[in-house]
Amino acid sequence: MFFQKKNPMLLSILIGVIMIAVLIAIPTGYEDALIYQGMERAVGTVTQVDNSAIKSSGLIQSGEQSCTMMIEKGNLKGREITAVNFLSGSLEKDKIFKVGDKALVTISQNGDEISTAVMSDHYRLDKEVILLAAFAVLLIAVAGTNGFQAIFSFVITVLTIWKILVPAYLKGYSPVWVGIGIVIFLTVMIIFFVYGIDKRTVTASLGALLGVAATCILGMLFTDLFKIHGAVMPDSESLLYSGYQDLDLTAIFMSSIFIGASGAMMDLAVDITSAVHEVVEKKPDISWKEAAKSGMNVGRAAMGTMTTTLLLAYSGGYVTLLMVFMAQGTPIDHILNYKYVAAEVLDTVVGSFGLVTIAPFTALTAGLLLTDKRAWKENRKEHI
């Protein structure tokens, strides 16, 4: 309580640093399972290319590209090697290198000699770091201390998904229960960074989590009714063929519905909680019913845009699929009936359903927890 009273920002930083340190220290359990173990990963610049072994058929290219590279990072820095870029005939996954490109290469050595050198992809980590740093600077410049706390939330969320959620799914733990646990942790943590130790943290967390619970129940129910198999998720079949055939992909799909919608739910819950808190601050003797009504009014205004936000977020990556349907003249009833389209409809509508429930849940919770019952009763006595 000392930190909270004297310097709330210091408390948030302390908790954020501790959480990040703990999450970084947690082992995933798959460190020894790396297929790249015992191999050298390096970064090099392409100095020469040989495309003679590439077979072209229209847009499709297969075969292999041979590239001479100068290694710039790693134990082999300063050494010139010849690496191979394998082409599978997939525009989605294949890449073609040109002279001057930087590439990430995986090298297998036998003593001092290089056995194989395979080009993984173009090197992008430096540009990703620049982009993330620019985002962090802009966020802090615009949002101030809240932006600084948002960075903690972002980093902790990424680490939680990578260090806890993904390993737990791979180990066969119940995807739904693991997902619920992760969402509870992230919801409380993220909202704590917004409000600190405050009634508003409890209020917004309860409102968001009640909406998540509704989304979870509906997602499980309609996934079964729609007869959706979890294999509709990208790369899920590759996971099964990699030795994880016992995974319950359908349960993972169910959990992805409420996990994907939880961020928007937190957003709406915080908006309503902040609005009700402002009303109570301006009118301390307001009744909980009036405060809840004000929260509902705010929720109604936000619901229209929030549900559309989910629709755009989920459908943005499927523009080319819609173009294929239109180009082929596929009837709309056929489109909506396809399993992978129905899965997206399920994602969007169930997530939107959960968002709609956030307004009454949060408004009611805020009305009960944020109002001063004593001040209202005294005001009522004076009025009578």
Cα separation, 60 vs 146, in Å, equals 49
CATH number for the domain that contains residue 343: 1.20.1640
Q: Let me know if residue 1 belongs to a domain.
A: no
| Confidence at residue 23, expressed as pLDDT on a 0 to 100 scale | 93
Question: Residue 264: exposed, middle, or buried by beta-carbon count in 10 A (0-12, 13-18, 19+)?
Answer: buried
Domain that holds residue 59: 40-123
Looking at the fold, whether 118 and 184 belong to one and the same domain comes out as: no
Q: What's the pTM value of the predicted model, to 2 decimals?
A: 0.85
378 CB neighbour count, 10 Å cutoff: 12
Cα separation, 334 vs 89, in Å, equals 30
- DSSP assignment string, 75-109: TTTT-EEEEEEEEES-TTT-----TT-EEEEEEEE
Cα separation, 267 vs 362, in Å, equals 11
Give the angle 10-14-17 at the CA atoms, nearest 5°: 135
Give the angle 60-63-67 at the CA atoms, nearest 5°: 110
What sign has the CA pseudo-torsion 95, 101, 103, 107? positive
Question: What ranges in 316-338 are assigned the alpha helix state H?
Answer: 319-328, 332-337
CATH number for the domain that contains residue 70: 2.40.50
Looking at the fold, whether 242 and 310 belong to one and the same domain comes out as: yes
Bridge pairing between strands 54-57 and 40-50: unpaired
> What is the total count of domains within the chain?
2
Looking at the fold, whether 234 and 364 belong to one and the same domain comes out as: yes
Looking at the fold, whether 197 and 273 belong to one and the same domain comes out as: yes
pLDDT in tens, the chain (384 residues): 444 445 667 777 888 889 999 999 998 888 766 666 667 888 999 999 999 998 888 778 889 999 999 998 878 888 899 999 999 888 888 899 999 999 999 888 887 788 888 998 999 999 999 999 999 999 989 988 788 888 989 999 999 999 999 999 999 999 999 999 999 999 999 999 888 888 999 999 999 999 999 999 999 999 999 999 888 888 888 888 878 888 899 999 999 999 988 988 999 999 999 999 999 888 888 888 888 999 998 888 887 777 777 777 777 777 888 888 889 888 988 888 988 889 988 988 898 888 889 999 999 999 889 887 555 455 555 554
Looking at the fold, whether 177 and 116 belong to one and the same domain comes out as: no
123, 144, 163 — which closes off a domain?
123
Looking up tokens 């845009």 gives: 305
Q: Which amino acid is at 258?
A: F
103, 123, 143 — which closes off a domain?
123
Q: Let me know if residue 256 belongs to a domain.
A: yes
Q: Let me know if residue 163 belongs to a domain.
A: no
Q: Let me know if residue 31 belongs to a domain.
A: no
Closest to 219 (Cα-Cα) out of 261, 170, 183: 261
- For 49, the enclosing helix (H) or strand (E) is strand 40-50
